[in-house]
Structure formats: C-alpha cells, structure tokens
Chain A
Amino acid sequence: MFTELNSILNTTPDSFTQGDFILLSDRQSDASFLIHHFLSLYLRARCKVWFLGLVQSFNHYSAISQRLGVSLTQAKEKGQLVFLEGLNESLSVLIPREADTGSEAMGFLRDPAVGLKSLYEFVRTSATSSGGGEPEPEEWGPPVLLVDDLSVLLSLGASVGAVLDFSHYCRATVCSQLQGNVVMLARCDGEEEEEDGDDGGSERLLRGLTHQCSLTLHVQGLPTGYCRDIHGQVEVCWRRRRGDGRCTQKKLFQYKVHDKGASFFAPGTSSAVL
C-alpha cells in the first residue's frame, strides 16, 4: 500500500468507494507495481479478494506483498484471498495428460476461439458460493476482483471482443450485484498515434475498458526520455457520473518505485531535482 497514492486517490483501508471499476494501464512501461498497491490495500481493508494472477507465480506476489506488510499465505489460509495461479493451471491444459482433472479456469487455452466463459465461470462460482453456502467463520468486507493482467489473454489467442465481454460480465457480477470493486491491468505497446488497421488489439481493448471504468491510472514513461530517478508518469483520471453527464477530473504525477513502495510527486518536484 503506497501512502502517497492513497492520499491522491482519497482512499484508506477504512473508507473507499464501492462499486468501482478501476483500470490500470500502461504504454511501453510497467504498471504492475500498482496492482501490488491495490492488493495490499484491499487485504488490509479486510475485503474478500479474488486475484487472477495470470502472469507471475504466487511466490512473486507473496514476496512483494511481504515487503508491503501483508502476508498472502496467511490470507489464503484464512479464506480471505482466493488466488488463481494462471501459470500452474495452464500447464495441465497445454500439455494434457490422462490423469489430469485440474480446474477448468484456463480451459480457454485449448481453443481460444471459444471465449473466456470458463474463466468467468470460475469468478462467478467462487464469488457467489461464498455469498450463500455455509456460514463464513469470519466476516469479510465487500468483494474485490483483481486481474493481472488482461493483455496476456490477447496474447494467448482470445479475441478483443471476448476479453471485453469477460470484463463486462465481471463488472456486472462484482460491481453491480455484489457492490464490490474490480481492478484490472491492461498493457499496451504501441505509440498512441499509430493506427494499425487490423491489429491494435490492445489499443481497442484499452479504449473499450476505459469507457467502462470509473477510475483510470495510466502509466507512461517520461515524454522527455529515460531518467534513473524518475521512472515515469501516472495520469489519474476520475470518470464520475453526475446526473446526466460525466464529470472527468485528471491529474498528472511522476513516480519512482523503491524497494518497499513507490513515491508520487507533482511533475518537476522530484527529490533528485530539488
């Protein structure tokens, strides 16, 4: 949990808006440090968290969360965290063996044209089963779904439409139905001005997701070039509905990632400069 980011977003573990769809995106940069912030924030806020860790192993997230003061293994044991380790599950699908009966969450790898329904089913069954079913020993807060990251689904063959459908269904279930939050990371690689006619899949995904969300954090490199002390800039954009129209508020910050967190500051006020 990055305290400076909390003050920028006006969130604390005790008070945060519910029903939010937060989009983390980056362009030729790496926004995964923000996922760790939200993971530790919601775990500290005693929310029930579902984490689809599709790109890294559990130990990676666990090691970083340890530095941020949260233990993922403990949260898993207590039932607060439900973790889908995409890498592990995918192996049983990619290299099929006869005696395998793993979870079908990554089943779309067999035939990506089918779509991401199996992944959504995983989310839905784990989300709704905890609602009904047997009484929970501990009372957790509102549910939160974190996805790291959506663009890898495009690399694995899913179409942009399927990924947008998946995010829409997740938002409908978690945000509207269960009054929880959804945080998704989408990565983009090209320059913004380029319009590759047929491709630009990740661009279309990013645009579609930006339309659906209520808060975006867009990470980019510095427009003036590479700097060792300032790792990039973050553009925070609130898209709130006020009556009929939408009220958007944008703020720009520069950031530097440390070993145990990240610091955010107004452009030009880096400690290396002042």
Chain B
Amino acid sequence: MAAPVSTVGKPSTERSPFNTTSFQKKTRTKLISIPGTRPSVQNGQLLVSTGVTSLDYLLGGGLAVGTVLLIEEDRYDSYSRMILKYFLAEGVVCRHELFVAAAQDNPDDILQELPAPILDDVAIHKPVEQPRLSCEPQDSLDAMKIAWRYQNLPKVQSALASSSRFGHYYDVSKTMEPEIRQAAKCHCFYLPEHPTHTMLESYSALLKSLQEVINREGFDVAAPMTKSRNILRIGLHSLGSALWGDDLSCHDNPRNGHALTTFLYGLRALLRSSLSVAVVTVPSHLIQDRALMGSITRLCDNAIALESFKGSERETNPLYKDYHGLLHVRQVPHLNCLASKLPDHKDLAFKLKRKQFTIEPLHLFPFNMFVSVLNLSADDNEKSLTLVLPACFYYRVSKSKVKLY
C-alpha cells in the first residue's frame, strides 16, 4: 500500500501561538502530519502536490505517496521538463527532500532552473513575527475598536501557515532564489559520474543509489521513528533515452528490452516500502514498440502523455490557438480500492502561462470560428476543405452550404 497512513506515528502538534481561541482541532492520534501532504478523500492515502494544481485535480487530488508518475515527454522535452521542475520546486517549498537523477544535464543545473514560488508571505527563513502586545499605547491610531480580539495578531501571516497549504503557484519567468533552494536537501545522481561498463548497470546503479538514500535518511516505513517524518521526492529525467545506455529508443528490437522495465519494477518495490514519490519522464516518441510502452505504463501507477504543438501544423490551427499542447491521461491508479477515479473528459489541452500551468478540457468547436475558417478558404479559391473537428458534430458539406446536425 502506498504510504499506509495509520501505521506511522504522528509527531505532537505544536500549538500555534496565534490562535485566538484555546480550542484546538481534535486530530486522530493515528494520522501523521507531514508538511505538504494531505490525506485523500477517497481512500485516506497520503497525497502530495505535483506543483501543478490542475494536474493534482486530474490525478484525483494529488500524487499518492509511494507511487510513480510517468510523463511521456513531448517532442522537444520542454513541457515535461517544466512539470519535473514544478514537482521539484514544490518539494523545496514544502521542505521535502529531493533526489534528482539525469544523464543529459547535471542535476545541479536542473535545480538551478526551478521556478520561483509565488508566496505572499514570503520566505521560509524569515523569523516568526512575535504577536504585538496590547500594551503599546503609541499605536492608538491602529488600535481596533470593534475587532479588538484580533489586536494581538500580527499583521503579516507567518511562514507557518504558508507551508501547510497544499499546492503552490510558481512564476516561470523568475528562478527560485538560492537561499530558498539551499534550504532543501538535495541528492543528485549524474550518470557520467558513475561509470558503468554495461547498459544494465546504469539502471542498477541508480536503483542502488536510491535505496542507499532511502535507508540512510530514514524514509523507510519500517525504520524506527527517531525524528519527524519527511517525504522524498524523486525526479528521474529521460529514462530510456540513449544517454542512459539504453537502446530502447534506437532500435526496433532492443537487445535488452527489459532493462528499463526491471528498473521500474525495482522502483515500485522501493517506493511501496518508503515515504517517497517519483516522477519519471520517458521519451516515448522515440520508442517504436507500442507493446513495450504499454508495459512501461503498466509498471508505473499514474501516466500522462504530453503532445506539444510546437513545430507541427497544429501550431497555426485556429482550433488550438489558446493552447500549447494536448495532454492524454494514460493511466490512473486504483491503489487500495477497486474503482479508480477516471477523469471526466478525455480531450485535455494544456497551456503554460507565466503564473500557472493550466490543463483544461478541449472546448467544443464554436460555430463562429467555423464560419470564419470557411470564409478564409473561399478567398483562397480552395476546392477542398480540411478541418480538424471534434467528433461531437455530424456535418455534411454540400456545394452551397454546410449543414450541422
């Protein structure tokens, strides 16, 4: 089971000094409270945010601890890399530990490109403000006459409250400040630093390194409770690419087609027995074997595929002008329960805005846009009409008019 919520003990809650009343929310002693996590409403699993709130909603509230999210990369690895950075940035903000593995870029470079979080109540390191004492006569102008109970509260919300929020927003145009980033503990695995002789060894070296970190830092569920628990966020970039020594993306019939799948099986075994969550990106557009891609998907719990419009004819298609690409949900897990929560819409599109990565259902084809496209091709003297229409309309084109049913 992914992160059995009831078996890990809970550290004692600290009473916030800023409560206006002496009432404290009664929490069941069996629930653990790790910052940045919340229990799922469906089956009580512990969820973490992926850093993208719309992706959290798609996955059923968040990423369950102990599971793997597979992201099939888009053609130029721009948006999948962005989601990986969101995931790691969310880990920094929630004070989780990070493990980044890459073969192409140095993990330190990836960590330096993390987007800056938008926090109204800024930093994690600011010292907690003391409540103002009510015996300060010089603030008579500020003294509250009606809401005098709130006199003692500080004007600015402290950092304690911000870290308990689930899911944050990031500004993509700025990079995260080094002070915030260095506050989080990061473990890096850069493949050229671990020379291996054969291809299979690169994945087993990675698996071994992961297990070492999990055991050493105490993320194992079976480990004794010496200190408060934390989550390990694992980001594995571009597994299956040729740089990992794998020939999955080079040959139609790879020699050792099961190297990546065996690694994913071992990764699942590690994750199910520890408080960690992994995001893996795979360049699926290079892997020709659909059945192999299917078994890779089945060995990961969540799976999404990104298809960006960059460089394709869809970039200029007026149907898609509001979006940057399509997002396909390949798999949603059903751990510890029979039914999985499938998304309502299957046609999803994403757009990367400066402060948000939005994922929306692809809206129905509006009629006025249809008319404007028709006019365009009439002017160009084109006899044939090629349109991308969603399958919800039936249409018949005759010489004089178009009928929509």
Contact = CB atoms under 8 A, between A and B. Distances in A.
B270 A228 contact: no
Contacts of B344: 228
Contacts of A228: 342, 344
B150 interface: no
Interface in B294-332: 294-295, 298-299
Q: Which of B266, B269, B346 has the most CB of A within 10 A?
A: B269
Nearest to A262: B338
Contacts, number: 106
Interface string A254-265: 000111111000
Contacts of B258: 112, 155-157
Given A63-B1, A95-B211, A201-B291, A261 B299 contact: no
Interface stretch (A4-12, A86-94, A211-219): A86-94
A59 interface: yes
A64 interface: yes
B175 interface: no
Q: Which of B4, B204, B292, B294 has the most CB of A within 10 A?
A: B294
Contacts of B290: 189-190
A59 B261 CA distance: 23
A80 interface: no
A38 B49 CA distance: 35
A157 B258 CA distance: 5
Contacts of A199: 253, 289, 291-292
A171 interface: no
Interface in A20-79: 28, 30, 33, 36, 56-57, 59-60, 62-64, 67
Contact of A152 (B204, B299, B334): B299
B204 to A, nearest CB: 7
Contacts of B295: 151-152, 154-155, 189, 202
A100 interface: no
Contacts of A198: 253
A155 B299 contact: yes
B376 interface: no
Contacts of A258: 338-339
B337 interface: yes
A217 B346 CA distance: 27
Contacts of A226: 346
Interface residues of B, number: 35
B199 interface: no
Contact of B338 (A90, A112, A155, A259): A259
Interface SS majority for chain B: helix
A185 to B, nearest CB: 12
Contact of A261 (B43, B289, B336, B338): B338
B152 interface: no
Contacts of A28: 294
A155 B265 contact: yes
B266 A91 contact: yes
Interface residues of A, number: 43
A59 B339 contact: no
A120 to B, nearest CB: 20
Given A60-B335, A154-B295, A95 B262 contact: no
A67 B269 contact: no
Contacts of A60: 1, 335-336
Contacts of A59: 1, 4, 336
Nearest to B292: A199
Contacts of B262: 94, 109, 155-157
B273 interface: yes
B207 interface: yes
Contact of B337 (A67, A87, A112, A201): A67
Given A59-B336, A112-B258, A259-B337, A87 B269 contact: yes
B243 to A, nearest CB: 22
Nearest to B261: A155
Interface in A178-205: 187, 189-190, 196, 198-202
Given A57-B1, A226-B346, A63 B291 contact: no
B268 A87 contact: yes
B355 interface: no
A63 B266 contact: no
Contacts of A196: 289, 291
A76 to B, nearest CB: 15
Interface string B254-286: 000010011001101110110000000000000
Closest 10 CB pairs of A and B: A59-B1, A189-B294, A87-B269, A157-B258, A63-B336, A155-B261, A155-B295, A94-B266, A57-B272, A257-B339
Interface of B: 1, 4, 43, 204, 207-208, 211, 253, 258, 261-262, 265-266, 268-270, 272-273, 289-292, 294-295, 298-299, 334-339, 342, 344, 346
Interface of A: 28, 30, 33, 36, 56-57, 59-60, 62-64, 67, 87-88, 90-91, 94-95, 109, 112, 151-152, 154-157, 187, 189-190, 196, 198-202, 226, 228, 257-262
Given A95-B208, A199-B292, 9 more contacts: A56-B272, A87-B268, A94-B269, A95-B204, A112-B258, A151-B298, A157-B258, A189-B294, A259-B337
8 contacts: A33-B338, A59-B1, A87-B265, A151-B298, A190-B294, A199-B289, A259-B337, A259-B339
